Amino acid sequence: MIALTPKCDQAVAIFAEGKDSVKNELYIDIIEKLTAVINANGTASTLEVSGEMIVKNFVNGTPQIKIGLNEDLDILEGKSKGYGDHVQLDKCNFHPCVKLEEFESSKVIVMVPPVGEFSAMLYSTSGEIALNVPFRLLAFIDDADNSRDKMLTLRLKNELPSNYNAVKVIIRLKIPRCVSRMSQQLNEPDQTAELTENQEIIWTIKKFPGRAEYVSNFRLINSTSSEIKKYDIGPIRMDFEISGYTSSGLQIKGLKVQEMGKKINLNKWIRLITVSDSYVIKLWQ
């Protein structure tokens, strides 16, 4: 059974119908929050998405909205996942205003929405069968010549298709107290790295294209007689934002707004976005 249950701004795709409309506006966001623990060998021990469809209705009158989702969408409700490219959700709950008569046959949800902002749909899914891992990382550590310093190399790969970019990418890496300073070498522009007072390297990438690989080389300068041990370095924690993309593959394939059977002149904004909730990469096995 699909259950019925009694919020992110900005929009990237704008579609206008008819003449200029100032007051009639409809915003639909699908926002996914990704939680992951990626092992050093690249496998995911945890991979989960919590998703939400947020509707902001500022349309005059009582419009009927039809939203078409992926035709290959499966809501499993406890059933096992199968391999393939289709969208598989573990659970899905809808707002009471959503009518599901067309959902089973054509994956279309129909609603006469309340005015303002509300959550039309909540869903979750998990596992590498249903979700794509956006980032993988390889770490290497070596002795620096004639010193107790260590050379740390991080190779971060963006696994997204080339037409997607991750932005606001922040990589945080804990390091041991015996490291007093660091020097750095970054392979691409629009990157920065710093060592904070909290013994944390913060590596920032403004824009990270899909299929790209960014490499950072850090010399960890040891000011003590203690040894820098690799297992005291890490894990990595990442923050990021990916516009136009959902990790589950859920998309809005069609949108129709009408009242009393007639099309309404309005502006419609649709946004898809994936953000990190907790994204951890272990460096060592």
pTM for the predicted model, two decimal places:
0.88
Domains of the chain with CATH codes: 19-131+247-279 (2.60.40.1170), 135-241 (2.60.40.1170)
Q: Which of 1-15, 96-110, 197-211 has the lowest mean pLDDT?
A: 1-15
Tokens 């966001």 correspond to what residue?
29
Strands, sheet with 64-69, edge to edge from the N-terminal-most edge strand: 98-99, 108-111, 64-69, 252-259, 262-263
Question: Looking at residue 103, what DSSP letter applies?
Answer: H
Q: What is the pLDDT of residues 13-54, one digit of tens each?
A: 334 444 444 479 999 999 999 999 999 999 999 999 999 999
Q: How confident is the model at residue 216 (pLDDT cuts 50, 70, 90)?
A: very high
The residue type of 202 is: I
